[in-house]
Amino acid sequence: MLTQKLFGTDGIRGKAGQFPLDPPTIKLIGYFLARRLGSGSTIVIGRDTRESGPWIEEAISRGIALGGGRTIAAGVIPTPGVALLTKELQASAGLVISASHNPYHDNGLKIFSPSGQKLSDEMEMAISEDVTGIGPALLPALERAVDPPAEVNPALAQRYQDFLRARISAPLVPISLKIALDCANGAASQIAPQLFASLGAEVTVINAAPDGQNINQDCGALHPDRLQELVIASGADLGFAFDGDADRLMLVDGQGRLLDGDHILYLMTDYLSRHQQLTGNRVVATVMSNLGLEIALRKRGIDLVRTAVGDKYVLDELLRGGGAIGGEQSGHIILPEISLAGDGMLSALEILRVVTESGRPVADLAAGMERMPQVLINLPVSHKVPFEEMPAVTAELSRLENEMAGNGRILLRYSGTENLVRIMIEGSDETTIRGQAESLARLIDSQLNS
C-alpha cells in the first residue's frame, strides 16, 4: 500500500472537516505524533481564529492523550508564538492549528520541533505512514472517551508578547510614531494592538474583530489596499498588515505605497550591513524574490542566495550556510539569531528599530531597491510533464533567455498543490515581458492541454 503524504511545504492543510482534516484523521495524527515523540511527551497547542479551530484542537488533543502525551493550550496565538513557547517551555513539540492566509473554511496543522524549527521531513513521513497505514485499524479503539482537553492558559500568549516587547531596547521606548495595523481578523487581532500601544505608538487598527469566518477576508497581508487607504487618511507614518496566523508581514510607507517582503528584506539587510551584523554578507530568499532585490544587494556587495519556495527551505539554507536574515516576497521574514520562525510582529518591531534609530521615513529606507516589472501567469494543466521532456518548451526558454541578454529572469515551475504551471518573467519593460509570458503560456497550453 502506497503511503499518502499528508504534509506539504507548510504542514498539513485542507478543507476543515474533509480528509486529512476530518476528526478521525486528526485524532490519529495526534495519537501517532505523541507515540513518535515518546511516552510523557508534552505538546504546546495554539490556533488562529477560524471557527473550525476549537473542534480541531479538541480532536488533536484527544489523540495526543490517547498516545500517551499531554497538551499545553495557549489558545488564540500567532504561529511564531507557539514556536517560541515550545522552545522556552522545553516541550517535545509545538502544534499550530491554522491555514495561514487561506480562507476560513480551510485549516491546517503546523508542527514545530523543540528547537522551533518545522518538523523534519523524516518525522512527517513517519507520521504519514502511521496514519494512512496502520491508523484505520486503530480507529475503533481510539473512539473511547478521554479527559477533556487542557484549559487555555492566557499567560502563555502574554509570555510571547513580553518576548516581543523586550526586543525594543529602553532608549527606543516610547516610540513616537503613528502606526496603522491590519490584523486580518486573525491571531494578531488582540495581541498586536496591545503590543504596539504598549510601546507608546499612536495606533489605528482595522480588521481586528474575528467572528470565525472573516479571517483573511478582503483584508490583511493578501489584501492590503484598505490599510494603504488608512495610512493616507490617518496620516500614519507607516502601516503593518499581518496574515491570519501573523507569521508574515506586508509594510505600507507613509505615502501609502505597499512594500512587500523583498522591500523588507532590503531595508533590514541594509541596516544589518551598516551595523556589521550581516553574518556571511549574504541574504537568503526564494526563486520568487524580485530581480530588483538581487541587483540592489549586488550593488552593495551582498550576495543573494535563492531557494525553492517555502520559508522552510529558507530556514534550512540559513542554518546550513549561515546568515542573519532571509525571507520570502510574501512577507515571511526569518531572523535566525532571534527566532527560527517567520514572525510578522517581530519583523514589524525590527522595522520600527530601523526607522527610529535612523530618523528616516520608511519610503527613504526602501528607496535603494527598484522593483523590476514582474509578470506571473498561473496556467491550469491537465497533467504534469517535466519541462526538459518537452523540446519545444526548452527551445523557447533558450530563445527568450538569449533575447533578455542577462537583463531579465524566467521561472517556470509546477505548483506543488494544484494542477498549475506557474510562469514568471521579470525584465525592464512590462509590456515586453507580458508578451513573452503569454507566448510561453500558449505554447505550454498546446503541449499539455491538447
| Residues recognised as catalytic | 100
Contact partners, residue 198, CB within 8 Å, separation at least 6: 165
Q: Which amino acid is at 80?
A: P
DSSP string, 54-67: HHHHHHHHHHHHHT
**Cα dist. 68→31, 35, 432 in Å?**
8, 7, 60
* Peptide bond just before 103 cis, omega within 30 deg: no
- The grid coordinates of residue 140 equal 475503533
Helix (H) or strand (E) holding 282: strand 282-286
The separation between CA 314 and the C-alpha centre of its own chain, rounded to angstroms, equals 11
Phi and psi torsions of 80, nearest 5°: -65, -20
In 28-131, which ranges are E strands? Answer: 42-47, 70-76, 93-97, 106-112
In 187-237, which ranges are E strands? Answer: 202-206
Q: Which amino acid is at 428?
A: S
Determine the Cα–Cα distance for residues 86 and 77; give it in Å rounded to an integer.
13
Phi and psi torsions of 307, nearest 5°: -125, 180
Determine the Cα–Cα distance for residues 253 and 257; give it in Å rounded to an integer.
5
Determine the Cα–Cα distance for residues 246 and 60; give it in Å rounded to an integer.
22
Determine the Cα–Cα distance for residues 212 and 186; give it in Å rounded to an integer.
9
CB 259 within 8 A of CB 366: yes
Residue corresponding to grid cell 517582503: 261
CA contacts within 13 A on the Cβ side of 199: 31
Contact partners, residue 97, CB within 8 Å, separation at least 6: 45, 46, 47, 48, 50, 53, 56, 57, 60, 107, 108, 109
CB 291 within 8 A of CB 266: no
- Nearest CA-CA partner of 3 in 111, 112, 136, 109: 136
